[in-house]
Amino acid sequence: MKRSLLKLYYKNTTAEVIGEEHGITKEQFENLAKITSPVTDLLDAERQAGKTPYRQLPYKTENLKNIQNLAADLMNQGCENFVVLGIGGSALGNIALQTALNPYMYNLDSDQRKGPRLFVFDNVDPVQLSSFLDWCTPQLDKTIFNVISKSGRTAETASQLLIVRKLLTDKLGAEGFKNQVVATTDPEKGTLRAIANDAGLRCLQVPDGVGGRFSVLSDVGLLSAAICGIDIEELLAGARAMDSKVSEKDFYKNPAMINAAINFHYYNQGKKNSVMMPYNYALKDLSDWYRQLWAESLGKTKDLNGNDVFVGPTPIKALGTTDQHSQVQLYREGPNDKLFTFLQVENFENDLEIGPEPQCAPELGFLAGAKMSKLLNSEKKATEYALLHDKRPCLTVLFDEVNAHTIGQFIYLYEVTTSYAGALFNINTYDQPAVELGKEATFALMGKEGFEELAKKIGPVTKIDENYIV
Ligand code: PA5
């Protein structure tokens, strides 16, 4: 595995390339350096004070043995299906790691698989879950459910757990529930902790003070990764390597600082949308993970002084080349209100040579014999060129290759970029008060005790008014 470092390429945001109206001038970069550089000390102080424990996750190597031992125990127990029950920060990282680091046909082809099949349920769709449970019920003894929830009272995860608990207890008895479920939750408190203690479940921890969206490099993301054959030591090593880069004091040497500053600049210039567009299928779910990280961390009503600011760039996920045929018309000719971040890979794990052109189609000769990776990266460059032609600013994160080390780096780079951006926006990066109201409203609508008053308020607002139906 190559341990090369990720690079952030930012020339295509400069005035030199896209002009002064949309590009960043040297003077503006100097100003950004001035306002962003002091944030490094602020983030360091927060870290030293233990306020951002996610920064230390890559150093918790002593914990890896626990995770690997548990993964080995589960395999010895005959685990063929590993099912994550979780939502938001308790699922998106797991999905992203799996898509990035395991083959596309992992679940279907046992030859391509180093561990059990992996399924992640981060929704409460009865049709989807029934289909899965119908398939897996005859093999429940070969299925491990990893329920991940810091609180345990998140309605989605709790409902999945209760369904699975009943199924397991009905089919395999109380012992079955105990043997087939692993809980990842708060070390001491919360609903899931109580259930786990009561049933004697094996447990891992959601570390204290680490919000779901910053938790992928903890037990939350690492158990499913480890059991599916992902090198979790390399993931953490990559994050540590990136920690040195994002701890640099020099603005021009610190990719998190520059990335956050550029995003902050464009937000203030009216480019309030941030599109992440990987040109590599393996990286596709990292942009989904990024979408939650960016949105929940930076979308805030109040700043730290209590002023109303209603701030927050809107993260958008796209995939090259798929979305060239779906979104690029808008991206080029629609409003110039977006910053683009491409993810580009230099060396692919596997490649294909495009076959010869048929005699009747000589116009396809330009493709014949070329590597598919060359076509993919040419399409990235072509899209970037087309966007730059229309003065749309573009960043690129350059991966030498996709492996556990570079993915660990990427995760840490974006987590720290988010901390820088939150500090620039002067908001609380780590809370998500707006998500809570929706969770409580669900409790109210489902008749939970203590939420009666809220239920009364929701009724009139959400009741269908027949006068407005056509
Ligand atoms: O990032 C977050 O904190 C959220 O997305 C949570 O992960 C999500 O709401 C699930 O919460 P819990 O882990 O308590 O079930």
pLDDT digits (tens, 9 = 90+) for 184-205: 999 999 999 999 999 999 999 9
For residue 86, which atom of ligand 1 is closest to its CA? 15
Q: What order of strands is seen across the sheet that includes strand 181-185? A: 117-121, 81-85, 143-148, 181-185, 202-205
Query: Using one digit for the tens of pLDDT, what is the confidence trace for 111-166?
Result: 999 999 999 999 999 999 999 999 999 999 999 999 999 988 899 999 999 999 99
Helices then strands, counting H and E runs in the chain, come out as 16, 12
Distance of CA 152 from the midpoint of ligand 1 (Å): 9
Mutate to test the pocket of ligand 1, among 95, 120, 147, 154 (most ligand atoms within 8 A of CB): 154
Q: Using the predicted structure, report yes or no on whether residue 264 has a pLDDT greater than 90.
A: yes
Distance of CA 90 from the midpoint of ligand 1 (Å): 6
* Per-residue model confidence (pLDDT) at position 151: 86
Q: Kindly list the structural domains of the chain, giving each domain's residue range(s) and its CATH number in brackets, ordered by start.
A: 6-48+234-425 (3.40.50.10490), 61-206 (3.40.50.10490), 435-468 (no CATH)
Distance of CA 151 from the midpoint of ligand 1 (Å): 8
In this prediction, residue 338 has a pLDDT band, given cuts at 50, 70 and 90, of very high
In this prediction, residue 444 has a pLDDT band, given cuts at 50, 70 and 90, of very high
Q: Measure the CA–CA gap between 40 and 246, rounded to whole angstroms.
A: 9
Question: Can you give the pTM of this predicted structure?
Answer: 0.96
Instruction: Give the ranges where 321-466 is alpha helix by DSSP (H).
Output: 328-333, 372-389, 404-425, 433-445, 452-462
In this prediction, residue 12 has a pLDDT band, given cuts at 50, 70 and 90, of very high
- What is the Cα 376 distance to its own chain's centre? 23
Q: What is the residue with the minimal CA distance to atom 12 of ligand 1?
A: 149
- Name the phi and psi angles at 183, rounded to 5: -105, 135
Q: Measure the CA–CA gap between 228 and 169, rounded to whole angstroms.
A: 26
Distance of CA 375 from the midpoint of ligand 1 (Å): 39
Q: Measure the CA–CA gap between 173 and 77, rounded to whole angstroms.
A: 17
For residue 213, which atom of ligand 1 is closest to its CA? 1
Is 306 exposed, middle or buried (CB count within 10 Å of its CB: 0-12, 13-18, 19+)? exposed
For residue 206, which atom of ligand 1 is closest to its CA? 13
* CA angle (93, 95, 96) in 5-degree steps: 65
Distance of CA 313 from the midpoint of ligand 1 (Å): 21
In this prediction, residue 288 has a pLDDT band, given cuts at 50, 70 and 90, of very high
Say if CB 407 and CB 101 are below 8 A apart. yes
Q: What is the residue with the minimal CA distance to atom 2 of ligand 1?
A: 212
Q: 447-465: string of b/e by CB count within 10 Å (b at 16+)? A: eeeebeebeeeeeeeeeee
Catalytically active residues, by annotation: 296, 325, 439
Mutate to test the pocket of ligand 1, among 54, 84, 85, 87 (most ligand atoms within 8 A of CB): 87
* Per-residue model confidence (pLDDT) at position 450: 93
Query: Using one digit for the tens of pLDDT, what is the confidence trace for 406-431?
Result: 999 999 999 999 999 999 999 999 99
* Per-residue model confidence (pLDDT) at position 348: 96
Query: Using one digit for the tens of pLDDT, what is the confidence trace for 81-95?
Result: 999 999 999 999 999
Q: Using the predicted structure, report yes or no on whether residue 293 has a pLDDT greater than 90.
A: yes
Lookup result for tokens 């993915």: 407
Give percent of the chain with pLDDT exceeding 70.
100
* Per-residue model confidence (pLDDT) at position 436: 85
DSSP code of residue 22: H
Query: Using one digit for the tens of pLDDT, what is the confidence trace for 203-228?
Result: 999 999 999 999 999 999 999 999 99
Distance of CA 229 from the midpoint of ligand 1 (Å): 25
* Per-residue model confidence (pLDDT) at position 259: 98
Enumerate residues lining ligand 1, CB below 6 A.
Answer: 87-90, 149-151, 154, 157, 211-213, 296, 432, 435
DSSP code of residue 6: P
For residue 435, which atom of ligand 1 is closest to its CA? 9
Q: What is the residue with the minimal CA distance to atom 3 of ligand 1?
A: 212
Q: Measure the CA–CA gap between 254 and 103, rounded to whole angstroms.
A: 32
Q: Measure the CA–CA gap between 347 and 296, rounded to whole angstroms.
A: 33
Q: What radius of gyration, in Å, describes the C-alpha atoms of the chain?
A: 24
Q: Measure the CA–CA gap between 426 and 321, rounded to whole angstroms.
A: 36
- Span 339-350, average pLDDT: 97
* Per-residue model confidence (pLDDT) at position 404: 98
- Span 370-380, average pLDDT: 97
State the average pLDDT for the chain. Answer: 96
Mutate to test the pocket of ligand 1, among 85, 90, 92 (most ligand atoms within 8 A of CB): 90
Q: What is the residue with the minimal CA distance to atom 13 of ligand 1?
A: 149
Q: Using the predicted structure, report yes or no on whether residue 387 has a pLDDT greater than 80.
A: yes
